[in-house]
């Protein structure tokens, strides 16, 4: 989805998607994405990272399947082999994704052992080769998510050399996690918090590469912060805050995308999930695989604790379905619709 946001950014790039929700392992699966779509229709969503080997050799329908309502949607891929990544790009286009994103930011040991993720920042030519191979076989935008730097290779000049090399292969969209990554000594969780944020380096990157679409990521928890960043860069990616406070995005379509829509209520979001849940739950699929993503819907509101407790205690029982969600609604959020559906 391409929208104008020149009122939010002074950048020379005037089209794109100003907000996205970061790819997060064990979080941004298809059920979370469908849930988020009941809150925001416009924000760009990402899959969890899927390795190139899994896409080529695994169960593609299971790994890559999504509902049309989830779009606009980007597939994040992890890998380092240009030929394999090109094959993944073709597959992504065939599945109907809107974009393919190469992960050059994950610092986990498992990812490093496959020679992809953040360690690829030390191999910009390899990343450029991969980007060129993907772009040669697909019409989809090929984007890159990376860090400020890795280990002792974390000077601003190191990042610009990486970006310049990859941009020479045709990449025009860079999402920068505004921290360096330590490939040894810190866990992935610690790498999200311990290295200091360096927003100014991302702002400077946009100044030095005005023709590129620069998106900032890392430590952004409010829409006010997002607006501030959009004065200096083209887009903002929000991660954990989107999962822990999903209703944060309720006003985004109106306020960031100019859509003439009223923000949904939390009750309406919960009720909109009822038919979706009914389609999925069954003997081989428990409610908690969807409901776990909904636990924070009432975060910070009266009744939030009871909402989470009721769902947690009931979502794993045999036969649990949409009635668990409706019964968990705080009294203040119940509607005639939800009460009628709860009735035996």
Q: What residues act catalytically? A: 106
Q: Minimal CA–CA distance to 85: which of 119, 53, 108?
A: 53
Q: At what angle do helices 199-208 and 156-167 cross, to 10 degrees?
A: 40
Closest CA to 98 of 81, 115, 123, 75: 75
For 19, the enclosing helix (H) or strand (E) is strand 19-21
Distances from the Cα of 214 to the Cα of 57, 202, 225, 227, angstroms: 33, 8, 16, 15
Q: To which H or E segment does residue 50 belong?
A: strand 50-51
Eight-state DSSP code of residue 146: E
Say how many C-beta atoms besides its own lie within 10 A of residue 344's C-beta: 3
77 three-class SS = strand
CA distances from 166 to 81, 105, 245 (A): 15, 14, 34
Token pair in block for residue 128: 């450029």
């Amino acid at each position: 989805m391409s929208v104008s946001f020149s009122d939010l950014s002074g950048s020379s790039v005037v089209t794109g998607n100003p907000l996205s929700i970061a790819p997060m392992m064990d979080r941004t699966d298809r059920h979370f994405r469908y849930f988020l779509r009941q809150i925001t229709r416009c924000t760009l969503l990402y899959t969890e990272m899927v390795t190139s080997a899994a896409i080529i050799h695994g169960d593609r329908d299971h790994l890559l399947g999504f509902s049309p309502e989830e779009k606009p949607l980007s597939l994040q891929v992890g890998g380092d082999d240009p030929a394999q990544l090109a094959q993944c790009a073709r597959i992504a286009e065939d599945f109907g994704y809107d974009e393919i994103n190469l992960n050059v930011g994950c610092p986990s040991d498992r990812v490093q052992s496959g020679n992809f993720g953040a360690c690829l920042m030390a191999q910009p030519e390899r990343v450029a080769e991969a980007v060129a191979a993907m772009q040669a076989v697909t019409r989809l935008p090929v984007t890159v998510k990376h860090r400020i730097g890795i280990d002792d290779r974390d000077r601003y000049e190191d990042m610009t050399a990486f970006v310049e090399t990859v941009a020479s292969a045709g990449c025009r969209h860079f999402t920068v996690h505004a921290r360096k990554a330590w490939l040894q000594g810190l866990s992935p969780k610690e790498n999200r918090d311990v290295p200091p944020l360096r927003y100014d380096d991302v702002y400077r990157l946009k100044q030095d590469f005005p023709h590129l679409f620069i998106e900032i990521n890392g430590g952004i928890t409010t829409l006010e912060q997002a607006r501030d960043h959009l004065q200096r860069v083209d887009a903002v990616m929000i991660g954990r805050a989107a999962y822990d406070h999903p209703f944060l995005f309720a006003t985004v379509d109106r306020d960031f995308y100019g859509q003439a829509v009223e923000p949904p209520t939390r009750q309406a979001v919960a009720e909109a999930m009822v038919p979706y849940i009914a389609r999925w739950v069954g003997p081989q699929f428990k409610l908690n695989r969807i409901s776990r993503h909904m636990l924070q819907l009432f975060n910070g509101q009266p009744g939030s604790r009871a909402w989470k407790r009721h769902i947690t205690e009931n979502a794993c029982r045999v036969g649990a379905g949409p009635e668990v969600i409706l019964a968990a609604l705080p009294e203040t959020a119940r509607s005639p619709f939800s009460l009628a559906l709860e009735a035996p």
